[in-house]
């Protein structure tokens, strides 16, 4: 690069490879580089280095190798005018990155050797990395898996989100009770990210809107915000498998344009001088700890607009630079995916950017906008569909609100022309809900402003078409499509389960690392006794490792030969951890009543966080812990039943538990889990599912076959029927002696001798309407769990099913999901 090269040129043209390329991936070169980083970046020598210093030095050495791909590939994608995908998500649950990057760069052996030669241990070094928990659960993890698959399929892509100073809270369990502590993942710095203080956009809030003289309704306006905050970019490279491509995760951090009010400060008001800054920068301080209910908070709306506006300003600027100022080519060169409704305000904001700032006439702007956006719906739960009070929108985002009114007027007008005099239809599809105080329906805005809308499993998409968005499906046939979720096999098989990966490579060949469908070659081996033995030996080794984690974290000793029965996910009534706890109690009762029967030993493993304000979910956590206390200390059931609630569920803990699971609990009330991805991770690692016909369980059932999955309970139709015609929980409880006994024990204080009434809210909910139909499914679940025990007693039958699970779930790779998005929604080529 000559010193005269301008920044503009460097973005537009691929340049010669830099002289300083750090491609050496042999252990000796890495060792030298790690030492250099330790000395000159961390500022320590060999004697003083602690494990965290080794982590930083290793991450920096690895990062150099990523950069060698990242910068030229990004430039080359612009130069070749390749269509860019922008994935907008309020959450990216990325977890740790060191092992992910090292493995995708195929440097695991070299890094291990380099560190060993320096007297450090790779596993210990990896363990120093904080878990980046910029998400709540499945939705955020999906965004992380998708970023990795887009890089793997060499699709040029940016992820856009918020760089929260504090991600999801850290959970501790104290006396059985969940305690929340702020997560401080940035306290020791973040070696993966690049601060880009020069890439900053002004984000406005409030103020007023003025029209130019004789401008018509659809003409441009001038918005003068009352206050502004800057969005500053922080970039993290995202490495694809075998470094196919390196993409960018660009997260925005808020920076007040005013550092402090010097006048106030000098006048002695030191706190007041900083108050505005603190208030404005709050926008990127914390992740909202809820994935199922919108907080009605202004701060949440500010977060959504903040990241949507920054991302759009950034991508439009890039587009105009690369395409000589031609905004009209945007839909041909750019695809924007909205991960749920959180970024839906982008649709109004892009209209503002086009109409007000770039002089595009309204009709044309609307056409360009709709051809650019697509939207993924993640839930049917009415309480989880975002709506914003009109007065709040008018105050905080006055111009965007005008635009939404205008979009709505035209939208309703068109519908009225096509279906005259149908007021029901107009009420149903209006972007404004008029019934309980006027609110903007963000899901509706996302549907109207997108060319495609997708659900995340076959069942969920069918329900979307038939229920929530049935009128839209009639108005816009073909717009609603299905894209069943997937998971990245690099993280959820190769990195988290190296033992199984080695066995699979040996059994079906190394192509399995690139093509998950090769897993099907395992099918004939499922009945092969020696392969079964090896497969189950891997499982056992993983269980021994997990048993150590359980012992270390909560002091509970579990037997690795017991059945590991696992339910790990956010704690929510619809996911029905309660059903599992009730069955645990019933099993405890049954063992106590007849301890000498031939019981299959079982360990019930739970992990998950409850939103801090979700009292019922927190009470379920407490019940699980109270049950654990009684069961684990009862000598009568010793060796037969143990209960372990592992605190602080996150990606890193999931990576420890999943390879060791025998049974995967996917027991949501049918119709309520949009897809699930935990179900896929567990099946891939050879766990058998016990589940309802819900979300992607249905498709797992289709692929693994009825003999290799345990299905129970009400179907979606049954659930709808019960809810419509009134469900009599009392009669169902009375008809089930087991369930009656369990409820009476809870109510009698067996698990809370110090406070008999502790679980009243739980038992009352069940004896009342039992909205989540726990009581309705109890007997069916109990009976199916006995079938599970029966199969567990036949180790060859179990092993065969476990192998067939791994063999048959290759389709759930995020690569398959992303290839479908690329072809059917984004119209971008897949280079693999």
Ligand X SMILES: *Cc1c(COP(=O)(O)O)cnc(C)c1O
Q: By C-beta, is 94 or 154 nearer to ligand X?
A: 94
For ligand X, the closer of residues 135 and 398 by Cβ is 135
Which among 499, 520, 498 is positioned nearest to 508, based on CA atoms? 520
* Of residues 733 and 814, the one with the C-beta less far from ligand X: 814
Buried b (16+ CB within 10 A) or exposed e, 37-54: bbeeebebeeeebeebbb
Mark the segment that binds ligand X (CB under 6 A) among 136-144, 354-362, 612-620, 741-749.
Answer: 136-144
Candidate segments 68-76, 133-141, 459-467, 504-512, binder of ligand X by CB under 6 A:
133-141
Per DSSP, the three-state class of 454 is strand
Residue of 681, 722, 758, 800 marked active site: 681
In whole angstroms, the minimum distance from the beta carbon of 551 to ligand X comes to 22
Rounded to a whole number of angstroms, the minimum distance from the CB of residue 569 to ligand X is 4
Query: For residues 174-203, which are near ligand X according to CB under 6 A?
Result: none
Q: Among the residues of 555-647, which ranges form H helices?
A: 577-593, 615-632
Cβ of residue 292: shortest distance to ligand X, in angstroms? 11
Among residues 465, 575, 576, 722, which one is catalytic?
A: 575
Interface residues for ligand X in 138-177 (CB under 6 A)?
Answer: 138, 141
Compose the 87-126 pattern: x for residues touching ligand X by CB under 6 A, - for all others. Answer: ------x---------------------------------
| 378: annotated active-site residue | yes
3-state helix, strand, coil in the chain (%, to 5): 55, 15, 30
Rounded CA separation 831/150 (Å): 10
Let me know if 677 is a catalytic residue: yes
Which residues, numbered 670-729, are part of the site for ligand X (CB under 6 A)?
676-678, 681
List the one residue out of 277, 198, 230, 252 whose CA is nearest residue 7: 198
Whichever of 84 and 679 has its CB closer to ligand X, that residue is 679
DSSP E strand stretches across 540-597: 563-568
- Which residues pair with residue 468 across a beta bridge? none
Nearer residue to ligand X within complex by CB, 372 or 692: 692
* DSSP string computed for 179-191: EEE---TTTT--T
Q: Rounded to whole angstroms, how far apart are CA atoms 346 and 501?
A: 41
Compare residues 62 and 687 and give the one whose CB is closer to ligand X.
687
Provide the mask over 617-656, with x wherever binding to ligand X is found by CB under 6 A and - wherever it is not.
---------------------------------xx--x--
Please identify, using beta-carbon distances, which residue of 235 and 655 lies nearer to ligand X: 655
Q: With contact defined as beta carbons under 8 Å apart, do 147 and 101 qualify?
A: no
> Which position among 300, 490, 570, 758 bears the catalytic label?
570
Structure tokens at 696: 């992607």
Place of tokens 């000498």: 596
The residue at minimum Cβ distance from ligand X is: 678
> Which of 691, 697, 663 is CA-nearest to residue 790?
663
- Total binding residues for ligand X by CB under 6 A? 13
Q: Which two tokens stand for residue 815?
A: 């690569």
The 10 Å Cβ neighbour count of residue 495 is 20
For residues 415 and 421, give the distance between their C-alpha atoms in angstroms, rounded to a whole number.
Answer: 10
**Segment interacting with ligand X, rule: CB under 6 A, options 135-143, 163-171, 468-476, 545-553:** 135-143
For 374-408, give the secondary structure using H, E and C: EEECCCCCHHHCCEEEHHHHHHHCHHHHHHHHHHH
Site for ligand X in 300-339 (CB under 6 A): none
Site for ligand X in 560-589 (CB under 6 A): 569-570
Strands 563-568 and 480-482: unpaired
Closest CB to ligand X among residues 319, 575: 575
CB of 179 to ligand X, least distance (A): 19
The reply to whether 570 belongs to the active site is yes
Q: Is 569 a catalytic residue?
A: yes
Nearest approach, Cβ of residue 93 and ligand X (Å): 6
Interface pick for ligand X out of 137, 156, 343, 686 (rule CB under 6 A): 137
**Residues classed as catalytic:** 378, 569-570, 575, 677, 681
Residues that bind ligand X in the complex, under the rule CB under 6 A: 93, 137-138, 141, 569-570, 650-651, 654, 676-678, 681
């Amino acid at each position: 690069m000559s010193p005269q090269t301008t920044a503009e040129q460097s973005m537009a043209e691929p340049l010669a490879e830099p002289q300083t390329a750090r491609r050496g991936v042999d252990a000796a070169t890495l060792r030298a580089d790690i030492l250099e980083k330790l000395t000159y970046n961390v500022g320590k020598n060999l004697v003083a280095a602690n494990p965290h210093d080794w982590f930083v030095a290793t991450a920096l050495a690895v990062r150099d190798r990523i950069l060698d791909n990242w910068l030229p590939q990004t430039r080359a994608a612009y130069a070749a005018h390749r269509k860019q995908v922008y994935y907008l998500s309020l959450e990216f649950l990325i977890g740790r990155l060191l092992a992910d990057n090292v493995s995708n760069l195929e440097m695991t052996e070299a890094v291990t050797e380099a560190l060993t030669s320096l007297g450090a241990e790779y596993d210990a070094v990896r363990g120093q990395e904080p878990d980046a928990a910029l998400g709540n659960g499945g939705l955020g993890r999906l965004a992380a898996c998708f970023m990795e698959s887009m890089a793997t399929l060499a699709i040029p892509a940016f992820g856009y989100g918020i760089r929260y100073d504090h991600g999801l809270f850290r959970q501790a369990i104290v006396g059985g009770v969940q305690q929340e502590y702020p997560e401080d993942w940035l306290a020791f710095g973040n070696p993966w990210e690049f601060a880009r203080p020069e890439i900053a956009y002004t984000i406005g809030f409030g103020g007023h809107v003025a029209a130019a003289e004789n401008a018509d309704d659809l003409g441009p306006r001038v918005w003068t915000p009352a206050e502004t905050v800057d969005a500053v970019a922080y970039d993290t490279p995202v490495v694809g498998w075998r470094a196919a491509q390196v993409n960018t995760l660009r997260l925005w951090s808020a920076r007040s344009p005013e550092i402090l009010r010097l006048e106030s400060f000098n006048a002695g008001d030191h706190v007041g001088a900083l108050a505005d800054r603190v208030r404005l920068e709050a926008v990127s301080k914390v992740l909202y700890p809820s994935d199922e209910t919108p907080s009605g908070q202004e701060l949440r709306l500010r977060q959504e607009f903040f990241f949507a506006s920054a991302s759009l300003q950034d991508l439009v600027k890039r587009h105009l630079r690369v395409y000589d100022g031609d905004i009209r080519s945007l839909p041909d060169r750019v695809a924007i995916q909205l991960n749920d409704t959180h970024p839906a305000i982008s649709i109004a904001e892009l209209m503002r950017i086009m109409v007000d700032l770039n002089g595009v006439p309204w009709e044309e702007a609307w056409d360009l906008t709709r051809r650019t956006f697509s939207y993924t719906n993640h839930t049917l739960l009415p309480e989880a569909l975002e709506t914003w009070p009109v007065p709040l929108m008018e105050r905080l985002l006055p111009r965007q609100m005008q635009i939404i009114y205008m979009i709505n007027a035209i939208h309703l007008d068109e519908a009225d022309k096509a279906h005259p005099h149908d007021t029901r239809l107009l009420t149903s599809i209006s972007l404004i809900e008029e019934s309980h105080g006027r609110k903007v329906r963000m899901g509706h805005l996302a549907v109207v402003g997108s060319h495609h809308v997708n659900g995340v499993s076959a069942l969920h998409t069918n329900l979307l078409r038939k229920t929530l968005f049935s009128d839209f499906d009639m108005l816009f046939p073909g717009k609603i499509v299905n894209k069943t979720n997937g998971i990245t096999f690099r993280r959820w098989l190769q990195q988290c389960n190296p033992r199984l990966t080695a066995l699979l490579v040996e059994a079906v060949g190394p192509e399995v690392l690139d093509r998950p469908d090769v897993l099907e070659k395992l099918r004939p081996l499922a009945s092969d006794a020696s392969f079964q033995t090896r497969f189950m030996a891997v499982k056992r080794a993983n269980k021994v490792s997990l048993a150590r984690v359980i012992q270390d974290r909560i002091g509970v000793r579990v037997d690795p030969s017991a059945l590991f029965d696992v339910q790990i996910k956010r704690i929510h009534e619809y996911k029905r951890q309660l059903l599992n706890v009730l069955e645990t109690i019933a099993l405890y009762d049954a063992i106590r009543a007849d301890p000498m029967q031939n019981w299959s030993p079982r360990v019930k493993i739970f992990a998950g966080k409850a939103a801090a304000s979700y009292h019922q979910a927190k009470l379920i956590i407490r019940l699980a812990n109270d049950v654990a206390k009684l069961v684990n200390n009862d000598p009568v059931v010793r060796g037969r039943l143990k209960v372990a609630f592992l605190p602080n569920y996150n990606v890193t803990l999931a990576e420890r538990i999943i390879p060791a699971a025998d049974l995967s609990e996917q027991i949501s009330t049918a119709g309520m889990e949009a897809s699930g991805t935990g179900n896929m991770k567990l099946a891939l690692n050879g766990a058998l599912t016990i589940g309802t016909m819900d979300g992607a369980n249905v498709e797992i059932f289709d692929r693994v076959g009825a003999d290799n999955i345990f299905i129970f309970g009400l179907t979606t139709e049954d659930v709808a029927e019960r809810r419509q015609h009134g469900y009599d929980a009392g009669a169902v409880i009375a008809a089930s002696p087991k369930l009656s006994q369990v409820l009476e024990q809870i109510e009698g204080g067996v698990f809370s001798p110090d406070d008999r009434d502790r679980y009243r809210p739980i038992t009352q909910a069940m004896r009342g309407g039992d909205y989540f139909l726990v009581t309705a499914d109890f007997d069916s679940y109990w009976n199916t769990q006995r079938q599970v025990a029966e199969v567990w007693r036949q180790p060859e039958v179990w092993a065969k099913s476990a192998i067939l699970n791994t063999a048959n779930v290759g389709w759930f790779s995020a690569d398959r999901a992303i290839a479908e998005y690329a072809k059917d929604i984004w119209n971008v080529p897949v280079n693999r």
